[in-house]
Amino acid sequence: MRLSTLFSALRRDWKLILWLPVYLLSFLVLERFITPSSGYWATQLPLDGLIPFCEVFVLPYCLWYPLLVAVGLWLLLRDSAAFRRYMRFLALTFFLSILFWLLVPNGQDLRPAVMPRDNFFTRWVAGLYAIDTNTNVFPSVHVLGSMGAAWAVWTTPSLRSRKELRIFVLLLAALICVSTLFIKQHSVLDVIGGLALGLLVGLPIFRPTLEL
């Protein structure tokens, strides 16, 4: 990828990325002020108790970040219209999530107090817990971001012939959503909330270009 091509694409669509630092700042502020000590609606359900803690799922959980970046960069360089749809979906769902967190402070109490095992993956999860609180979980932005990436790939005309890639991204998005449950970052209700909001926002944005 030529840097000149990237800079040209950024000059063209830079306004579509301005929402990201605003979202990140808002998220960090809420992480500071919505804490267990301040009180919140706990989203866990009895069903969550049936899901075992499985630390190896931290790997697909963290693949969320490169997935969103990779899809965004590819669309930025190859398909401006698809990039706009992707940015619109992420911005709307992420900011609607922040609005809900403000109106209904929430969190979950599922994290193990002590790791059941000591290995590379449990230490990785512990490090993740240290930098990401158990608040602001409903709806799950991990689910929303994964849905956005899958929607974008499946509705980009130039990718319709890349069946294997489309299926890979869809399966990875599903695995990321499931991973949030196994490492106790989200409850079942958080995932359901993310799926519902993703469908509500995604259908009008992506349906006109969706081709199965």
The pLDDT tens digits of the residues spanning 63-94 come to 999 999 999 999 998 899 999 999 999 999 99
Its domain, for residue 161, covers 57-209
Provide the pLDDT for residue 2.
Answer: 59
Q: Does 49 map to a domain? A: no
Q: Check pLDDT > 90 for residue 3.
A: no
Nearest to 38 by CA among 133, 167, 180, 170: 133
Cis peptide before 105 (omega within 30 of 0): no
**Which residues share a beta bridge with 135?**
107
Q: Does 129 map to a domain? A: yes
Residues 27-47, mean pLDDT to the nearest whole number: 87
The pLDDT tens digits of the residues spanning 83-126 come to 999 999 999 999 999 999 999 999 999 999 999 999 999 999 99
Residues 42-66, mean pLDDT to the nearest whole number: 97
Q: Does 23 map to a domain? A: no
Q: Does 52 map to a domain? A: no
Q: Check pLDDT > 50 for residue 212.
A: no
pTM of the entire predicted model? 0.93
Query: How many structural domains comprise the chain?
Result: 1
d(CA 137, CA 142): 9
Whole-number average pLDDT of the chain:
91
Q: Does 2 map to a domain? A: no
The pLDDT tens digits of the residues spanning 131-187 come to 999 999 999 999 999 999 999 999 998 888 899 999 999 999 999 999 999 999 999
Q: Does 31 map to a domain? A: no
Between residues 37 and 48, which one has the greater pLDDT? 48
Q: Where are the alpha helices (DSSP H) in the chain?
A: 3-13, 19-33, 58-62, 64-78, 80-103, 120-131, 141-154, 163-182, 188-206
Cα dihedral sign, 44-46-51-52: positive
Q: Does 176 map to a domain? A: yes
Q: Does 68 map to a domain? A: yes
111 CB neighbour count, 10 Å cutoff: 15
Q: Check pLDDT > 70 for residue 11.
A: no
d(CA 90, CA 58): 22
Residues 21-41, mean pLDDT to the nearest whole number: 86
Residues 45-53, mean pLDDT to the nearest whole number: 97
d(CA 67, CA 165): 12
